[in-house]
Structure 1
Amino acid sequence: MSNNLNQQLKTIASLIDCKLGHPITGGNESQIEQLIATAEKLNHKPIRVLKDWKRFELCLNEEDEQLCREQEPELSKDGIYLVYSHNVISDSTFMVPAGGWVRSTFLIALHNQCIFETPNTNYILVGNGREVKISLEEYYLLMSLR
């Protein structure tokens, strides 16, 4: 295995490590049904409920952020975020099995501090999570996960 590939794998492992980043709180796990009902009222997008999640903030220079926003004008004005979880509780599309992992596309809106809306899906973040700032290079590494 090349040193470059080895380093990339180490970087990915550190990014998805549960201990990296500062703690943030999602929705209450005992209120999942209420949160699903709230998400259903927002729109008709599929819903995935996540536990043990991480919210990544993509940190870009002004020029790169402007280009990104021109390509995806619906992005949240509060920052460029995506979410990752290695513990999917449920998925209304049944594409991701319970206990599976998922990585979202970019945030367009955050509702009730725990419903992470992307262009195609509502992710309900329950329990404790973590937030991490990442570079463009780290973002591309996360996107390489299959």
Structure 2
Amino acid sequence: MDVEQFVGQCWDVLHGEGTPLEGCLLEESEALAEAQRRYPNKPFCLVRQWSRINLECEPETLNYLASVGLRAAVIFAHQVVFDSASRCPPGSWIRSTYEVAWDVAGFFESKHTVYVLLGPGVQKTASLRAVLAIH
């Protein structure tokens, strides 16, 4: 793949279209309370303008992730609304680590954080390399 194709892939991760998904339908205050109730001992982020990205990986990577209880998917969100651990200020973007669990009610769990996916989002597929290039 040449540089121009790679840059195009990175642009698609950030701005390209995807398959529409419904996120959490709760109001922000209700979503915050629900995250605290469901995950009392885990930091969480409420996010908007999000994408669930299924990663294209080598079979060895997929096997390794599965062996440690992870899936080849991440969340990229253009807008952090609230971060319970104060790592990201409101309005900033965030990319999760690999998926542990995903609830179609709008809750995405990574190893260290739960992401509450507010409002509509999209699902995409992208190369691991393109996703990791975003920083």
TM-score after normalising by structure 2: 0.85
Asked if 1:26 is matched to 2:18, the reply is no
TM superposition shift of 1:105: 0.6
Give the deviation of 1:63 after TM superposition.
4.6
Task: Give, as a single letter, the amino acid of the residue that structure 2 aligns with 1:26.
Answer: G
What are the ranges of 5 or more consecutive residues in structure 2 without an aligned counterpart? none
User: What's the secondary structure of 1:124's corresponding residue?
Assistant: strand
Q: Which moved more, 1:125-134 or 1:55-64?
A: 55-64
1:112 is displaced (CA, Å) by 5.5
1:99 to 91, 102, 115: 91
After the TM superposition, which segments of 4 or more aligned residues of structure 1 sit over 6 Å from their partners? none
Matches within 5 A, 1:7-26: 7-17=5-15, 19-26=16-23
Change (3 A) 1:125 1:88: same
SS of 2:86 mapped into structure 1: coil
What do you get for the CA RMSD once the two structures are aligned? 2.2
Counterpart residue number, 1:143: 132
- Superposed, 1:100-115 pairs within 5 Å as 100-111=92-103, 113-115=105-107
| Equivalent position to 2:69, from 67, 74, 80 | 74
- Percent identity over the alignment is 23
- Number of aligned positions between the proteins: 134
What amino acid does structure 2 have at the position aligned with 1:45? K
